[in-house]
Amino acid sequence: MEELQIKDLLKTLRTRFPEYYARKEKEEIIDIYKSFVLALSDVEQLAVVGALKDYLSNDRTGYPPTAAQLRTKAKAMPEYMWGQMLEEKQPPLAIAGTQRTRREILLDCAVCMATDKTKDELVEWWNEYADNTPLTDEEIKKVWNKAKDDEYRY
């Protein structure tokens, strides 16, 4: 976690446990902050968030978690939870099952190019601008047929 994220975490804890932090002196608050920075600087933020959620839902002491408790919970997180975290971390527009390879995207571009080019011009465009790996005969045929089919749709 970065220091700014740790500050936000401590603000959250201060909101959840106001009485605990109200009794602390300024030096104690600074020590708590330093301990969190030291303990959590090499831990992924999502893991700490998961650890905090787990702590808040299971702990009945009425005290906020220590940096060491959050670190231990974050490091002990089961593998399946890491998978969930990584899925949540994906950009919002990334829809599962629709991600395509670079070559597939370039082939769609080639279909557009093929609508007003000859096959030779298409191959020349591909080799010069699109990709270092030449089009196969099968790909040329697919692109050409799709371009000609698409032409009649408009």
Q: What is the mean pLDDT of the chain?
A: 81
* Per-residue pLDDT tens over the stretch 26-77: 999 999 999 999 999 988 888 888 888 888 888 888 899 999 999 998 888 7
Vertex 58 angle, CA 53 and 62, to 5°: 95
Answer for the pair 40, 71: CB distance below 8 angstroms, yes or no: yes
Per-residue DSSP letter, 64: P
Which pLDDT value is given to residue 76?
84
Which pLDDT value is given to residue 50?
84
What separation in angstroms does the CA of 87 have from each of 45, 53, 79, 94, 142? 14, 18, 13, 10, 34
* pLDDT above 70 coverage of the chain, percent: 82
Which pLDDT value is given to residue 57?
85
CB atoms within 10 A of CB 129: 10
Place 146 in a pLDDT band, splitting at 50, 70 and 90. confident
Is 53 or 101 the better-scoring residue by pLDDT?
A: 53
Which pLDDT value is given to residue 143?
87
Place 80 in a pLDDT band, splitting at 50, 70 and 90. low
Distance of CA 6 to the CA centre of its chain: 19
pTM: 0.52
What separation in angstroms does the CA of 112 have from each of 36, 40, 98, 120? 55, 50, 20, 15
Mean pLDDT computed over 10-17? 90
Report the alpha-carbon distance of residue 43 to residue 50 in Å, rounded. 12
